[in-house]
Chain A
Amino acid sequence: GAGVSQSPRYKVAKRGQDVALRCDPISGHVSLFWYQQALGQGPEFLTYFQNEAQLDKSGLPSDRFFAERPEGSVSTLKIQRTQQEDSAVYLCASSRGTRNVAGELFFGEGSRLTVL
């Protein structure tokens, strides 16, 4: 497709389960971001990739969160031993550029995670 694609769109997990969320960025986009959006709030930065290199992971809330982009295209956000506070929409965004890309981001529709 022409846009950023995320899957699954909806995921329900029992507390303690591991989940994996996938992001297919726009073809050729070098920069890839993950954001977490809790209900009723704005998105919060999690991590940033430039090609396969994870340049910033300062927003990951705990060591249960792990992101990868091994071939510089598709990215996976993994959450281990999910907790109820992990319930949120996880947004992926990509950009063609590598510097000052904030104004050039294309967001996916997000993966909504509900932890019971």
Chain B
Amino acid sequence: GESVGLHLPTLSVQEGDNSIINCAYSNSASDYFIWYKQESGKGPQFIIDIRSNMDKRQGQRVTVLLNKTVKHLSLQIAATQPGDSAVYFCAETNAGNMLTFGGGTRLMVKP
């Protein structure tokens, strides 16, 4: 199948460890942020979102942190599993419809 991340930065973690993926966004006016997971040959899949009036949001095994001061977003994955291996993208919007995606990070989970 196709690969969407031949030249992406890569994070390699051991199964069961926690993963932290970082993203710097560009538009200080952005008010809504999303993390997507993209597996090879598939489209982006929504993981978790956060609005600019929050600095932390938790889901199942995932947490997103937002630091508006330095325009930084992070995704934390607890107890990383082999099925978490994929490319992860952050995305931002300030108009609610059009998304601007970051460059992506490849997560590789070693069994």
A residues engaging B (CB < 8 A)? 4, 10, 31, 33, 37, 39-45, 48, 56, 89, 91, 93, 99-103, 105, 107-110, 112
Q: How many residue pairs bridge A and B at CB < 8 Å?
A: 72
Partner of A89, one of B2, B7, B49, B104: B2
Interface residues of B in 32-50 (CB under 8 A from A): 32, 34, 41-46, 49
Q: Provide the residues of chain B in CB contact with A108, threshold 8 Å.
A: 43
Cβ 8 A contact of B44, one of A39, A45, A107: A107
Q: Does B98 contact A (CB under 8 A)?
A: yes
- Which of B13-21, B62-70, B78-86, B88-96 sits within the interface? B88-96
Classify the secondary structure of B's interface with A: loop
Whether A110 pairs with B93 at a CB distance below 8 angstroms is no
**Complex CA distance for A40 and B40, rounded to whole angstroms:** 11
Residues of chain B at the chain A interface (Cβ within 8 Å): 2-8, 32, 34, 41-46, 49, 89, 91, 93, 96-104
Whole-angstrom CA separation of A46 from B45 in the bound complex: 19
Question: Taking CB as reference atom, which chain B residue is nearest A59?
Answer: B98
Residues of A close to B89: CB separation below 8 A = 42-43
Q: Contact at B5–A40, with CB atoms within 8 Å? A: yes
